[in-house]
Chains A and B, each alone.
Chain A
Amino acid sequence: MGEETTGPLIALRDVSRVYGEGEAEVRALDGVDLTIGEGEFIAIMGPSGSGKSTAMNIIGCLDRPTGGSYLFHDVEVGRLDRDQRAILRREYLGFVFQGFNLLPRSTALENVELPLIYKGVPPAERAARARSALEKVGLAGREHHQPSQLSGGQQQRVAIARAIVDNPMVLLADEPTGNLDTHRSREIMELLVALNRDDGITIIMVTHEEDMAEYAHRIVLFVDGRVQSEDYRPAEREG
């Protein structure tokens, strides 16, 4: 991957996140340094309570650090208010969750259209873009199915289509294969790899499964609220 002339896409410097005060104080993150460049595919691993989900929430601009600095595209996220972060999420980020998090009584197409509604994209263009996103994840013809009519793997594909429908710079995936069997998991991972390789989408994925982490360029290991190790993978799976 080529070097950026400006700052890195994502730069966390001595980031801490503290919940509670005094006796009840919990340091979920305790001095995290992490740099992620455009086009990377990162897997974040670690035991439960290691702070990987907290780190994910901060990187995803759902939460703000209580200490340190988080620069996204040279913007200090800690200084953005709720709505500014919402707009940042809308414009640059896409989310995929372990539990899919689709709106249950809306069709696949409606779910994928959702981010575009909040952006104010006109209906006809919205539907067209949602259709092509669904096609990209291999769900052409399922536009009018509701989540309950789709398998787990298909639901996760809808969620991925929703995440990429507005061409985000970064896709954040929190245990995307946590609810899926091995076969479906591999299909999802291959989809993510393709999005990373063909569309240049930066992917940051939290997982506790070694097999899934293998797909990433780099595995970041969290222990006790800190980055313990960063393991660069050979580019064996590319190509």
Chain B
Amino acid sequence: MLWETVRLALLAITRNALRSFLTVLGVVIGVAAVIAMVTIGQGSSEQVTSDVESLGSDVLMLRPGSSFGGPGVSETVAEFTLRDADALRELSVLSAVAPVVNSPATAVYGNANSSTTVTGSSNDYLDVANWTILRGRGFSPAEESSGAAVCILGESVRQELFGNADPTGETIRIKTVSCDVIGYLEAKGAGMMGQDQDDLILMPIRAVQRRLVGSTDVSSFQLALAPGVSADRGTREIEALMRERRRIQIDEADDFRVMDMAQIASMLTSVNSVLTGLLSAVAAVSLLVGGIGIMNIMLVSVTERTREIGIRLAIGATARQVLTQFLVEAIVLSVLGGVIGILLGFAIAFAAARLMAIPFTPSIEIVGLAFVFSGLVGVVFGYFPARRAARLDPIEALRHQ
């Protein structure tokens, strides 16, 4: 009997295929938006998590300023210097200290050029940031201390300047500096925010400071914790050292910030989930509007089919049977919309995942949820028109033209 009713409902829906499609469009869009948002959100949090894991949970970051975004507009905060690096190296809780200074620059080789970022650091940076030298070598101690013009290329820069050729031993020009290529890095792919991580050139920090930036500032430190040291303990010791070095009074707040990777990850994912939540709310509203659309068209349908309802009642259909028929029709309609929406949503999420280079993570829970929700929309918004149909007076209904 139920299958019979579903079959009848499908028949009624396909008779007015175009109208049925337009009717469920609201539900389709709502469900597709929810599915796409949630799937993309999940994918990007997964990406962030795995990126952070690849950085290592034993990595800390030290930046000037009091907030994540670095010094604010009105803040004037003393920059770090390489003397801070030497002091940090004294701490037993740290196994590696990589001072970092970045400078945007264009690198030129022959006719090829590449707009990139030059990162000045030490060999420790390779360990802390998880880089592997694919070919060539790291900086020698002499190169580091003298600030020699030598560089290690990221994969994207290598591709742009040399194609697939081996760049080691060649000389490239960065701004006005001629620089010997001593190696290149293994590719990492896209980062947490979708940026190209391989778009960089590594140079000894002294070389960048003196030849490209023209200052002795260090913009941040990347620090690796010694084995068995907790992030909390490491953070405490670094904070104590820095407060002392920067002569911060006991009642003054820090003018620097130590972050561990868990904090960075949760910051990134929280932005992510706020965005997902907001868009899902919009999608929910669209689902509501879709439901009202279904109610509207079902009311029209009941009016149009008044005579049919009269016939059915006259030949012995009970009010409940008529109610069931129209309710099932509304549910089938909105579930159909839900199914189309689920497919469309996954298609959008899949395309977006490819585009943003994040994992495509369809979840069965969200499919179930969308299915149940679209069915619920059918029940809620289909009930009123169905009840109206069931309450028709058979005599009046038969007279209806």
Contact = CB atoms under 8 A, between A and B. Distances in A.
Contact of A115 (B308, B310, B316, B398): B316
B321 A118 contact: yes
Interface in B65-87: none
A62 interface: yes
Contact of B319 (A82, A105, A114, A117): A82
Given A83-B320, A89-B316, 6 more contacts: A82-B319, A86-B319, A89-B315, A90-B317, A91-B316, A118-B312
A105 B15 contact: yes
Interface of B: 1, 4, 15, 307-308, 310-321, 394-395, 398
Contacts of B317: 86, 90, 118
A123 B1 CA distance: 9
B307 A101 contact: yes
A115 B15 contact: no
A133 to B, nearest CB: 13
Nearest to B320: A83
Given A62-B394, A101-B311, A118 B316 contact: yes
Given A101-B307, A105-B15, A120 B1 contact: yes
27 contacts: A82-B318, A82-B319, A83-B319, A83-B320, A86-B313, A86-B316, A86-B317, A86-B318, A87-B316, A89-B314, A89-B315, A89-B316, A90-B316, A95-B314, A95-B315, A97-B398, A101-B307, A101-B310, A101-B314, A101-B398, A114-B315, A115-B315, A115-B316, A118-B312, A118-B321, A119-B316, A163-B315
A84 to B, nearest CB: 9
A91 B307 CA distance: 22
Contacts of A163: 315
Interface string A100-121: 0111010000000011011110
Contacts of B316: 86-87, 89-91, 93, 115, 118-119
Contacts of B311: 101-103, 114
B318 A87 contact: yes
Q: What are the 10 A-B residue pairs with the smallest beta carbon separation, nearest first?
A: A90-B316, A83-B318, A86-B318, A115-B315, A89-B316, A118-B317, A101-B311, A62-B394, A118-B316, A62-B395
Most chain A CB within 10 A, of B310, B316, B395, is at: B316
**What is the interface of chain A mostly: helix, strand, loop, or mixed?**
helix
A62 B310 CA distance: 10
A214 interface: no
Contacts of A93: 316
Interface string A61-77: 01100000000000000
B318 to A, nearest CB: 5
Nearest to A82: B319
A68 to B, nearest CB: 19
A96 B179 CA distance: 100
Contacts of A97: 398
Contacts of B398: 97, 101
B394 to A, nearest CB: 5
B111 to A, nearest CB: 72
Contacts of A115: 315-316
A62 B314 contact: yes
Interface in A40-66: 57, 60, 62-63
A118 B319 CA distance: 11
B307 to A, nearest CB: 7
Nearest to A100: B311
Nearest to A120: B1
A101 to B, nearest CB: 5
Given A95-B314, A101-B398, A117 B4 contact: yes
Contacts of A114: 311-312, 315
Nearest to B394: A62
Contacts of B312: 114, 118
B206 to A, nearest CB: 85
